Amino acid sequence: MNRLIKALHSPLTTAFLATQPLYLSAPDAVTLVRRLGFQKCIAGMAQNIRADFLRWPDFDKSARVANHSQGGVIELMPISDDTTYSFKYVNGHPQNTAIGLPTVMAFGVLADVATGLPTLVSELTLTTALRTAATSALAAQTLARPNSRVMALIGNGAQSEFQALAFQHLLGIDTLRLFDIDPLATAKLVANLSGRGLKLQVCTSTAEAVQGADIVTTVTADKACATIVTADLLAPGMHINAVGGDCPGKTELAADVLDKAKVFVEFTPQTRIEGDIQQMPADFAVTELWEVLSGTRAGRDHDDQITVFDSVGFALEDFAALRFMHEAALVHGVGERLALIPQMADPKNLFGTLQASARRIEPALNGVSCT
């Protein structure tokens, strides 16, 4: 029997368990991704994200709620359509790695809109890396020059391999030019990606890494208004996939890069607060990715244009990723039912769940039946 269920005192019926949410732990997510294969997983997630961007008006959307502290941020990201609700809890603490914790940790929930019943409780740390990479690649498929083969990857931490492989599988990137201020992070990335058919070129600076790159991915973590990419590093036709500037006071692109580019965002109200465009005037022109995907507005206008995807991560991507993981988990029998909602014969008798425990325990303790 399920170990979570066993830990509870009350005998639980099969019918009751069937109503409980599926729990997908971090090891379960690893099992699932391994079983599906990375390529299938990233492609499936990108397909779900595209499909959900294409029905943008169906969603009840809001900018995420962020609680800031000196070292980082904790955010809640809710979204729903007519049938399904999701939220993600996620943090961003760039100093965490120095004490052995990831910069980004997350978990999330899917729930049934009609009843409010949670249907999935899931890890989202691994899933966030996958959905972020899938979203980046989806945006680049739409915005980068179609013959892009070389990508500079600045910031070689937890997200970096996911970005690299998503761009290899979904865009045909064959060469990566790598830079991180921490050479050990780059060495880790090289070790993880060797033997996967990518040409890996380790560089000694961002300026060196971006030379000859068709696409520049910045995925650094620093709670600072950084200028990883400056306008003098730009070449005609470059696409910049800016992932790490995702919080007030945390940017990666110099303002003159944004001035020279056509800028694309996920959800404008959120990106104006959190994205690299936070340093631009409130009316700085942007195009939302869904508009380009749906053909409502133009993407890249010509081959020489600089395009920027100012990514901050939007709840719709987690909604799509959670649904992907949920469906895959059910198909592959991964995860277990989590006894989250009290079992009640009479749903108005919540207090009765306490009475039932008391009936079993009291006689043993006091010799008195509590009925």
Q: Smallest distance, Å, CB 181 to ligand NAD?
A: 4
The DSSP bridge partners found for residue 337 are 22
209 forms part of the interface with ligand NAD (CB under 6 A): no
243 forms part of the interface with ligand NAD (CB under 6 A): yes
Is residue 222 annotated as a catalytic residue, yes or no? Answer: no
Q: From 2-10, 46-54, 81-89, 156-164, give the range in contact with ligand NAD by CB under 6 A.
A: 156-164
- Measured CA to CA, the distance from residue 286 to residue 242 in angstroms comes to 14
| Residue of 13, 39, 41 whose CA lies nearest to 334 | 41
Contact (Cβ atoms closer than 8 angstroms) between residue 289 and residue 264: yes
User: Nearest-CB residue to ligand NAD?
Assistant: 157
92 forms part of the interface with ligand NAD (CB under 6 A): yes
Q: From 15-23, 176-184, 190-198, 318-326, give the range in contact with ligand NAD by CB under 6 A.
A: 176-184
Size of the site for ligand NAD (CB under 6 A): 31
Q: Smallest distance, Å, CB 94 to ligand NAD?
A: 6
Three-class secondary structure assignment of the chain: CCHHHHCCCCCCCHHHHHHCCEEECHHHHHHHHHHHCHHHHHHHHHHHHHHHHCCHHHCECCCCEEEECCCCEEEEEEEECCCEEEEEEEEECCCHHHHCCCCCCEEEEEEECCCCCEEEEEECHHHHHHHHHHHHHHHHHHHCCCCCCEEEEECCCCCHHHHHHHHHHHHCCCEEEEECCCHHHHHHHHHHHCCCCCEEEECCCHHHHHCCCCEEEECCCCCCEEEEECHHHCCCCCEEEECCCCECCEEEECHHHHHCEEEEECCHHHHHHHCHHHHCCCCCCCEEHHHHHCCCCCCCCCCCCEEEEECCCCHHHHHHHHHHHHHHHHHHCCCEECCCCCCCCCCCCCCHHHHHHHHHHHHHHHCCCCC
Q: Smallest distance, Å, CB 224 to ligand NAD?
A: 8
138 forms part of the interface with ligand NAD (CB under 6 A): no
- Measured CA to CA, the distance from residue 253 to residue 257 in angstroms comes to 6
Judged by beta carbon, residue 98 or residue 345, the one nearer ligand NAD is 98
Q: From 2-10, 149-157, 324-332, 356-364, give the range in contact with ligand NAD by CB under 6 A.
A: 149-157
Q: Smallest distance, Å, CB 295 to ligand NAD?
A: 24
Task: Show the site string, 220-239: x = touches ligand NAD by CB under 6 A, - = not.
Answer: xxx---x-x-----------
Q: Which of 108, 118, 155, 299 binds ligand NAD (CB under 6 A)?
A: 155
159 forms part of the interface with ligand NAD (CB under 6 A): yes
101 forms part of the interface with ligand NAD (CB under 6 A): no
103 forms part of the interface with ligand NAD (CB under 6 A): yes
Q: Smallest distance, Å, CB 341 to ligand NAD?
A: 31
Contact (Cβ atoms closer than 8 angstroms) between residue 137 and residue 46: yes
Q: Smallest distance, Å, CB 155 to ligand NAD?
A: 4
345 Cβ neighbours under 8 A, 6+ residues apart: 352
127 forms part of the interface with ligand NAD (CB under 6 A): no
271 forms part of the interface with ligand NAD (CB under 6 A): no
Residues of span 3-62 touching ligand NAD by CB under 6 A:
none
Judged by beta carbon, residue 158 or residue 334, the one nearer ligand NAD is 158
Check 28, 52, 214, 246 and give the catalytic one: 246
181 forms part of the interface with ligand NAD (CB under 6 A): yes
312 forms part of the interface with ligand NAD (CB under 6 A): yes
Catalytic residues, which ones? 246
Q: Where on the chain is the footprint of ligand NAD (CB under 6 A)? A: 92, 94, 97, 103-104, 128, 132, 154-160, 179-182, 185, 219-222, 226, 228, 243-244, 246, 311-313
